[in-house]
Homo-oligomer: A and B are copies of this chain.
Amino acid sequence: MNLLKFSIGIDIGGTNTDIGLVNDTGEIIARQHLHTTQYFDAQLFVNDIVFTIRQMILENNVEQIVGIGIGAPCGNFDEGSIDDAANLNFRGKTPLKKMLEAQLNIPVVVTNDANAAVYGEMIYGGAKGMKNVVMFTLGTGVGSGIIIDGKLLYGSDGFAGELGHSILIPYGRKCNCGNCGCLEMYASIRGITQTCVELLQQSPENELAKIPKEQLDPQIITNAALNGNAIAIETYRKTGEWLGIALANVVTFSSPEAIFFAGGIMKAGDILLKPIKESFTKHKLFLYKNDIPILHSQLSENDAAILGAAALVF
């Protein structure tokens, strides 16, 4: 009989749902996944999560699960629900906490994926011991999670920390949210690709211009930048310049000890991190004299989401 404390971390994504059994030193000792896209009915989805968890408990001879943490797009902490997530097949409000607790006698915490990511970073990753941290996740969208005094910032309604939709360039690029100029439109997969396309319009002789627009993505642009392609390098320089301004603005708000980045786009590494740091140094208000390091998440991409969700339990 295993007497350690265990928790379950669940990362719900548009394509896959990863479920992990995590011990209290942050090791994932078992993991399973479901194909989120298969579920058009939230109850069937919840039933399969319950079945998977029960199996994990049995197979690993675990006596007690302290709690279940869930990171999900549009995860609503206050209500323990997923609210109108655009990339899930079951729409409307899904009261995940209530549905799971009805079947399992284990407390459930739901939050959005970026909140889970920053919390995981604080409990298990590079932000261990820090109390004021902000994390940006750069991928299909731009997510953010904010830690204030060692606690996740939820605000008055559970939805604090949506910095991907802070307006960086008033009257700038049209965003899906209805506003113009959101950070997401400059620092997501779509945003970075658009920056490259715009730059290529002025340099039609560039190698990248040979690739059809709809096939261009940050991975291709990163590879081109690594090979010295000037437009690819300039794409990431501009992205870094914009992100540096966004970070300077974050500092005028919560003055964190460090700012972390995670997400697929960070595979660009220093090609993106270096211009972010340069722009941040240039734009950070002089009043903030402490060094505020800009860091890559120290959790492996495969584990981060499950560990982040599991960390919510503590």
Contact = CB atoms under 8 A, between A and B. Distances in A.
B165 A285 contact: yes
Contact of A131 (B156, B158, B242): B156
Contacts of A178: 286
A288 interface: yes
Interface string A165-197: 111111000000111000000000000000000
Which 9 pairs, one residue from A and one from B, show the smallest C-beta to C-beta distance? A155-B255, A160-B255, A156-B257, A166-B249, A162-B252, A132-B156, A166-B252, A165-B285, A155-B254
A167 B169 CA distance: 10
Given A148-B153, A159-B255, A166-B252, 8 more contacts: A131-B156, A132-B156, A154-B255, A157-B290, A161-B253, A166-B248, A170-B242, A177-B287
Q: How large is the interface on A (under 10, 10 to 19, 20 to 34, 35 or more residues)?
A: 35 or more
Contacts of A177: 285-287
Contacts of A148: 148, 153
B170 A169 contact: yes
Q: Which of A168, A252, A287 has the most CB of B within 10 A?
A: A252
A250 B162 CA distance: 10
Contacts of A162: 252, 285, 287
Nearest to A165: B285
